[in-house]
Structure 1
């Protein structure tokens, strides 16, 4: 399959790289230190019409596709992973609506989301349901012309700043989770919906991660995606697709760390010559560069495979599932290894906050965990063989 970047995608890559270099990178260290959600970065993404990259034109998006979105996330992640994750979470939260929303639901929500006038989150993980999605305990009980939602979600990115949350809940507890789950669109300000604990994290510190509490949250039946007990396939296909942008984020973090390490080792003198001239360090960087490029190719291939089919529940093939999981696990493990090696290449300087590679190392770790751990990706891969 051909998945080289088109002229339009190359122009987009250059544009986003410039934005990242000039407007995102300068404040990355401060954002990490302050650990506050970066609304100024939201405005930059909004001003440059980046939120709607993968949205259909009919709803106000630019319809550039998943590969274009991955390119954008990669370029932003080179400078600041916390800024890149804004676009990643936006795609994650919207994907259930892309996949299973009816025309009325799409018309009601997608235009605001495409413009960046509203942010969205995906309420899935619970204290007892992480990798095991079928073990959800949040309940959705039919009452009149709507549903009452009760339960709690943890580790939900951007739920505190989102106008909309797609929430997964059990609609029938008499059957296994994969047969009795629904996905609901919940609007901010709905009675009973509140934000609980805010997590203090190792990395992605400028990206908020919170607990979501649902106490008799009344949701209209019109906000249920697809049918009452059909939510499990929506959830799984959402993750199958959106782990590809996570891989792109990992590629960007790794490339950013590698770029900085190369620059540093060419400038830093030891024993009368640049560190870059020592063969042992050259071999380290050769391995780092090879893994980063392999990760990029896996990610772009997975994105290209997805673009070859429509966004619906019936057209996510085993091949796509395999490639998306391969891209995610390989890119995430690469990001962790490359950032760790970058810290090593900088020696003592790599361990202090004055230099960005320690932040990149902390940011890289989550890519091995969220949207399916590296271990779960290997289960997914093997299940398609």
Structure 2
């Protein structure tokens, strides 16, 4: 479709593609109703020079002009965040960008200091429910020995939102290295802390098998190691972890094995060490110990940065145990700000007739990804 502006010799062709609202970060309210309906892009063969076009602004307001930066969204001069080329021009001048991004090219807002995601990717992550169906890869044949291993693809997805390329990630309960593998997949620098040497060995075997460079994995009690990090002034851009549960809590099951989902597992997820938080005797002891961990994590996290935890609530002795809420509350007590929860559902979890036919007992087929931000202690 072509139309002609009486105040110029330009011809414009209507945009035929659908514009995703999540990508539009600009205000088009300066355009009149007709122009808002007809978002045009100029035909290069009929365009005069940009300078000649700008000279028409006072005589023809508003007028559509091509953006020299060649971004691909309709914008208005006063609200264009991409460049300042038109910053001194008339506010009613509408700019139509003609830039077409490459297949692997993202348009990242220049004010985005958190990550490297485009607007639509940012919006997608903020959905409160995440449903996944990850294939069993990245050394799953080795990692599955740990019943609470996290899919590296999930950790990559989380890490990419809260960091930029080359930034640092810490997992204080690293297990077989799901977080470290996820960091490697998106070019972040990661450090893991793990009490059980067997899980560290499996992580190294996975890296060798998959030809993935090993990240730093520290063998030791996280309380001791975090204390040393704090003393040395070591800080990280992001913390992501899947903390252990006390002996009374069912453990996170992330590897899709139907015969062990949603119940205590025979997998050797944890050690017999008295330093293993799983071996504490009560919920209260567990929560208190986790609060000590949170206090140290607060100190080794950079200002205004984020901590995420994958937690699974449980149902024990006829009662629902909201472990996610309690851990979030304990983290807030040391200075973290609770920002929200993403409900993670991995497809393929087997349902069981708990309580049937006498009483309601939930099939807990989801896990909670708690998101917290470092505030003022």
- TM-score norm. by structure 1 comes to 0.25
Structure showing greater relative contact order (alpha-carbon pairs closer than 8 Å, 6 or more residues apart): 1
Between Structure 1 and Structure 2, which shows a larger proportion of helix residues?
Answer: 1
Report the structure number with the largest CA radius of gyration.
2
